[in-house]
Amino acid sequence: MSYKKPESVLVVLFDKHHRVLILQRQDDANFWQSVTGALEAGEQPIDAAYREVAEETGLILSPDACPIEDCACINRYEIRPRWQHRYPPGTTHNTEHVFRACIDSRLPLQLTEHLHAEWVSKDEALTRLWSPSNREAVAKFVGVPQ
């Protein structure tokens, strides 16, 4: 088995009306989140952010047409016990790099890793997102000038 690296990206996607894209996980229907995923070997966080957005939503963003912005925020959190088997033995914490991008909410999504996607108000996102670090990122980085 190949273990995940305990370093990941969180990419908060929102539109010009400050509505936030939230995604419902396949393995836990009560877990709503933004785009997130582990860095691959040798990958830089910004590259992982672009890759994860493409993999999870089908949206191909680019630095020229639709840039992903580094929020200069890094979180460290405890990995849920039910997911610790995905990481090297003894790994209990993950380091998360936070990014954001303002995108057109009319673009069609192609979900590959989630059951459902919804565009919701910032307030609704703050009540439905499972992860505290995800809620903090939405609170801090959605609705402020880029």
Per-residue pLDDT tens digits for 25-75: 988 888 999 999 999 999 999 999 999 999 999 999 999 989 999 999 999
**Is 114 inside any structural domain?**
yes
- Asked whether residue 146 is domain-assigned, the answer is no
pTM: 0.94
pLDDT at 70: 98
Per residue in 73-123, pLDDT (tens digit) is 999 999 989 889 999 999 999 999 999 999 999 999 999 989 999 999 999
Residue 2 located in a structural domain:
no
Q: Is 4 annotated as a binding residue?
A: yes
Look up the domain containing 119 and give its range. 7-141
Domain assignment present for residue 66? The answer is yes
Residue 102 domain flag = yes
Question: What are the Cα distances from residue 78, in Å, to 29, 82, 138?
Answer: 20, 11, 19
124 is in an annotated binding site: no
In a domain, 118, yes or no: yes
Q: Is 113 annotated as a binding residue?
A: yes
**Per DSSP, what are the bridge partners of residue 98?**
10, 73
Is 131 annotated as a binding-site member? Answer: yes
